[in-house]
Amino acid sequence: MHRLEVPAPHAPPFAIGTFDEIGPLSRAEFPHRHTFHELVHVTGGTGAHVVDLARRPLRPPHLGVIAPGQVHQWAGARGLTGHVVVFTDDFLLDHPADRELLRRLSEQPWPELDAHADAVVTRLIADLVEEHRHGEESVLRALLHVLVARAGRLLGTSPPAPAGAVAAEFTRLAGRPDLGLWSVSAHAERIGVTPGHLTEAVKAATGRTAAQLLREARTREAQRFLLRTDLTVRQVASRVGFADPAYFCRFFRRETGLSPGDFRRDAGNHHD
């Protein structure tokens, strides 16, 4: 597992350079992973790039994305030329939706760029190299965002929905208990974003976490069943997505201060 090393303690978590400038690990022939994102603009060379067991022959020029945690290696690569851009999630703070777009791009084969697309990428890379020399972090962040957005456009991958739209769709789905979506990951999959992107979008829009809102929605649905039906506690637990009734009882007590049975009895006495 490789981590991004920067030249100084307060340097931004970002680096750019040719394969030679970045160093031998940028073209490592053994399987490895990193904790950072990697954008690769390959302008020359032969061989193949292998990512998550998929072998992809090199026919430059390419623009490729490698996500944190992906297992990859260069196989028989010779004469590699081009640039490598590496950065951590922290460098995307101004544009958090870029994380989701990068994830989508990392799942695609590296396409061959036509002359126009290669010229666009070459120009953006040159701007990043120049700005990296000056060390203006805010400009670097902005230029990287442009490169990621252009990469999505060139490779035919649309950017993720804006945070407001993601949060609105989450709210709509969370209000549909009949769908049986009781986890953040289930909602994220339904919306088409990562759980991390969904969490950030909901937090930004509501000031509360998606997990907290789902716990409340789940509790309300359980209360509705306990008050308005004769279902047993086991049946109620199943209806709100708990395979283990005992775990459901602990969850319900933690959220309401009462066991399901006590809640049902207290509500019944209140209505008598």
Shared domain for 148 and 180, answered yes or no, is: no
Q: Tell me which residue of 204, 260, 189 sits closest to 229, measured CA to CA.
A: 260
In terms of pTM, does the model score above 0.85? no
Report the pLDDT value the prediction gives residue 50, as an integer from 0 to 100.
93
Report the pLDDT value the prediction gives residue 7, as an integer from 0 to 100.
61
Residue 41 bridge partners (DSSP):
63, 83
- Whether 115 shows a pLDDT value over 70: the answer reads yes
- Count, in order, helices (H) and strands (E) of the chain: 11, 5
Report the pLDDT value the prediction gives residue 1, as an integer from 0 to 100.
67
* Tens of pLDDT, residues 34-75: 999 999 999 999 999 999 888 999 999 999 999 998 999 999
Residue 216 lies in a domain: no
Instruction: Residue 179: give the domain boundaries.
Output: 161-208
Residue 250 lies in a domain: yes
d(CA 244, CA 106): 38
Helix (H) or strand (E) holding 124: helix 115-134
Shared domain for 178 and 130, answered yes or no, is: no
Residue 213 lies in a domain: no
Residue 244 lies in a domain: yes
List the single range of 15-19, 72-76, 146-150, 195-199 with lowest mean pLDDT. Answer: 195-199
Find the CATH number of the domain harbouring 238: 1.10.10.60
Top pLDDT among 269 and 73 is at 73
Domain count for the chain, please give it.
Answer: 3
Find the CATH number of the domain harbouring 114: 2.60.120.280
Phi-psi region of 229 (alpha: psi -120 to 50; beta: other; left: phi over 0): beta
pLDDT band at 108 (very low <50, low <70, confident <90, very high): confident
Residue 246 lies in a domain: yes
Shared domain for 22 and 112, answered yes or no, is: yes
* Tens of pLDDT, residues 172-218: 888 888 888 999 999 988 887 888 888 988 998 888 999 999 999 99
- The interaxial angle of helices 97-106 and 137-154, nearest 10 deg, is 40
Shared domain for 95 and 136, answered yes or no, is: yes
Q: Tell me which residue of 130, 106, 120, 143 sits closest to 17, measured CA to CA.
A: 130
Q: What is the mean pLDDT of residues 221-232?
A: 93
Q: Positive or negative, the Cα torsion across 161, 166, 169, 174? A: positive
Shared domain for 192 and 225, answered yes or no, is: no
Shared domain for 199 and 80, answered yes or no, is: no
Phi-psi region of 230 (alpha: psi -120 to 50; beta: other; left: phi over 0): alpha
Contact indicator for 239, 178 with CB cutoff of 8 Å: no
How many CB atoms are located within 10 Å of the residue 61 CB? 22
Report the pLDDT value the prediction gives residue 226, as an integer from 0 to 100.
94
